[in-house]
A and B are shown apart, each in its own frame.
Chain A
């Protein structure tokens, strides 16, 4: 791929990402915000418990990463579908 093509592809990806980020508050509001909030609270509490139980161990950041991944994967079901452009 040429340099101009790569720039165009990166620009399209950036534009789509920006569009998704701009849509996020609306999708949260139109989705299930309370459930999302409860999920976020549970994730935070579990992360705090992990940090308390295995403080200073290499497992602590890894488990927090796992919790964040779990939140990112499961929170999508609480969002409304994005509006078409």
Chain B
């Protein structure tokens, strides 16, 4: 295989994967910018929870306590008509873009805060719960929890042994190469090379 074809093959396999991942992150960034008040509350909630060691349930409770604000907002908006309830957050969220100053950004945030604070905190609670799940299982959170492997069983026995009892001796790990194991299972014949 020539060097050029090897590079071409690597690029063909590597580039689409990288490009799809980059496109996913870009899409997420665009969505975060579009709904920046929610993203800001979610980010702040995640950072505060991480720094202060809050569990995800606490963020969820905070979101619950922010709900009266949303209920009052819905009641006040419904006095203007139900159409305003659906359209006003979008209109208010986009109102700060033409004149981007600190005051307009702050005012825009305040206009949509009764909706974005409960929603952002709830989203932050979900994200924190997912992060804790991913860290616990060690699988990145996307897959099912990993099975307990045979290698961890002796360590569990040592950890559960009472202190007064004689120390549990760990069985020495049996090392065998794959061909030996396969030969033992009868998959490979005796003449197979290692």
Contact = CB atoms under 8 A, between A and B. Distances in A.
Interface of A: 50, 53-54, 57-59, 61-63, 65-66, 69, 73
User: Interface majority SS on B: helix, strand, loop or mixed?
Assistant: helix
Contacts, number: 51
Contact of B88 (A58, A63, A66): A58
B72 A54 contact: no
A58 B114 CA distance: 9
User: Interface majority SS on A: helix, strand, loop or mixed?
Assistant: helix
A69 B69 contact: yes
A54 B69 contact: no
Contacts of A54: 107, 110-111
Interface of B: 65-66, 68-70, 72-73, 76-77, 79-80, 88, 92, 106-107, 110-114, 117
For the complex of A and B, the 5 pairs showing the least CB-CB separation, nearest first, are A58-B76, A62-B73, A62-B114, A66-B69, A62-B72
Nearest to B112: A59
A63 B79 CA distance: 17
Contact of B113 (A59, A61, A69): A59
A50 B76 contact: no
Contact of A58 (B66, B80, B107, B117): B80
